[in-house]
Structure 1
Amino acid sequence: MRSRITKPAIAAAIAVAVLVGINLTGRSGVAFADIVKPFLAARTATFKMTMEVQGAPPQTFDCMYAEPIRMRQANDEQGVVVVSDLLAGRIVTLNAAQKHAVVMEITNIPDDPNQNQFNMFGEIRRHIQEAREAPDDSVTFLGEQQIGGRTAVGYHVRTPGAELTVWADRQTQLPVSIQRVAGPTTFAMTNIVFDVDLDESLFDLTIPDGYEVATLHADATKPMEGDLLQTFRLWAEHNEGSLPPSVDMNAPMAFVMAQQTKLQQDGQEPSKERMLQLQQTIMDMGRGITFVEKLPAESDWHYAGKGVTFGDAATPIFWYRPEGSGMYRVIYADMNVREVPASELPKAPDS
């Protein structure tokens, strides 16, 4: 029998896994710094957010943001509401139809809440700040185009791990749309309105009476090399000893699709406990992917683990140069790590 819970549960797993001054005028006369200023200064905001992940149907949420770093996301079609308060360290997902709640407890919240990867509004703010402070060509003018009957000017923004495309009304200089692309995942923000009055009750984390409650755990500390090792271990544990085909944002999606295939082949409806375990595993694996995503270009990292079996002590699968070091760290398929000079590095898989 084909599982009735697989598709919505997998979609929820994806959502959890994946949810964390340039002086440039171009030819338009509208500076990048001017069009992003309202976004950086907003106390509150409302907008529509559409999330697209390769291999899954798009999901659209009506979103509200309120300082300090709180979010409310509602999908009326699915009957799902997600409320997050990152200073409180909690994200609550409510499914009214199933009377089911998932509480994500977040520990080690950074001092600067905008550095928290669990809030998309804060994430985009961080990307914009990085671009404004970068001394290189992180921001590129895209020209003008018509959007909804208005002339809009656009900028493309490159930051470590993600790219943004910002379109703003030429006359008002207010953002019309902001798109964030990271690997196979795209977030698009539209219908953006800043500094609106929002009732505090909209951000209430209280779970209604009669709801079944499950809990997930997330660590907001900066991911380290050990998190990447754990990602390899978890992948192998759930995929017959194989290692991931990549260590970019495509990896979580590949994991989800592999697990979806297994669940369908089993012919049995997975329990809520099993789906909760899957969500937790995806979140834990995401820390290792984020570690790689945040490595600077100077780290010269390479991944050679595709098709390799976990435990092979002779096969190097990942290497990189830590910041400020003249040596490279090489991870082998048995999770042993060695330091070697550049002259002794393995051959890169793409060379």
Structure 2
Amino acid sequence: MNTALNENAWEDRLRAGLGEAPAPDFEAWRIRRAEALDALKPAIVPQTHRYRRILVTSSKWVAAAAIILASGLFLLRPGNSIGRTAFAAAIPGVDDPLTMTWTTTYYARATSVDGKRTWLQEERRLHAYRHPGRYRETFLDKEGQPRMIEITDARTGRMLVLDLKGKKAVLKAAIGQPDVRGPFAWVGEALRDRMVAKVLPVKSVSLQGTREIDGLQANVVRAMIVENEDQGPARRDFLFDRKSKRLAAIYVTNENDFDPETAPERKQTVEEKSSMWMPVARWEHEIVVDPKLDAADFRLDPPAGYAYEAQAKPTITEDEMAGFLGAAARFNGDVFPDSPFAAFDQVKFNAASLKQPAAQTAAEKELIQLHDKYLTREVYQPPARRFVDDQTEPDTFHYVGAGAKVGQADRIVAWYTLKNGLKLRALYADLSVKDVSPADLPLSLPE
């Protein structure tokens, strides 16, 4: 992208690339957009209805802005500012992602041992995300092969670190505060709220033309965010695929004018040793929205054959709670227990444990394996109790599963609110877990 093009030349090249525009059919467009056009008509209303009129009119402007964005028509020239309503519609890759994968490419400026030369060092890391709040980051060696994996559950604040070569697994507190909403929810805050994490104001948002990224043509939207009042606003570029409108990439830099593709250090020879290095930029790119990801890849259990060290308080995740209650129900003849905290008959369980493995039923084996697994993890409470204590907001867990049959897709077994969560979550008898509204619940919530 050449931002030095003058305005007229840029428009001429754009027109040449797009070709002749089709003849407009304004009447057909007016019929399809009648509601949005109504918002443009002047209206004389009584003073007592003034605030309601403002609210209704604003909502129609938001709808019109959403139509413009969905059509891919940024009615702006490069460098012009963009209003908040241009991003009123949901943005794939930003808002409520279920699964995602992406790559981070880091750039650091290294300095030679004698201090006379500098060069750029690159590092790639692979990421995956699975709703709600589960992250997997893969670190690569110099040959591009995985050397370490960090699996983080943002809801529980725990991380499993896997040393792939040393065959060692360490469970510890999560580093930083991963966003339970998804990896790029902050982009929506910057574009719509003009405030990131409620403390970092966005000074401006503007369109910077287009550029190619990962084989895609993307619109470049630049936000200048005040992250340090002493250093001025920092540049953050958000790239949106022109066809799908999804988030395609993010460019973050510590030096607003730095571009890794044109930096002089790019051509310098990488030396084996350095006296210092300084991070200067990174690309979040190769973003894939809604890929198929295996839930097993996000568990906090060490793989077989790994030495295990626990540095964090052991806990039970949402998936594990659901899986345990399902196993207990199958052990009970496919019927959910009267209480999630006394989920099975202890005498019957002890008798099953004394059987030879070949004589145990599939349901008995499953429950015994889970029971032993959690004891090995040093979880000595009933798994559902540990989940409630560690993962849910106080007094929000409600169990109504007594007598429910395993597999009933429309039967809610329990509901609760996760810590730092914004929505109610419900466990169904088919062991699915979903976000729900109060209207979905079998009992009324107290006022």
Report if TM-score (shorter chain) is over 0.5.
Answer: no
User: With CA pairs under 8 Å and 6+ residues apart, which has the higher RCO, 1 or 2?
Assistant: 1
Alignment TM-score, normalising by the size of structure 2: 0.36
In terms of Rg, which structure is larger? 2
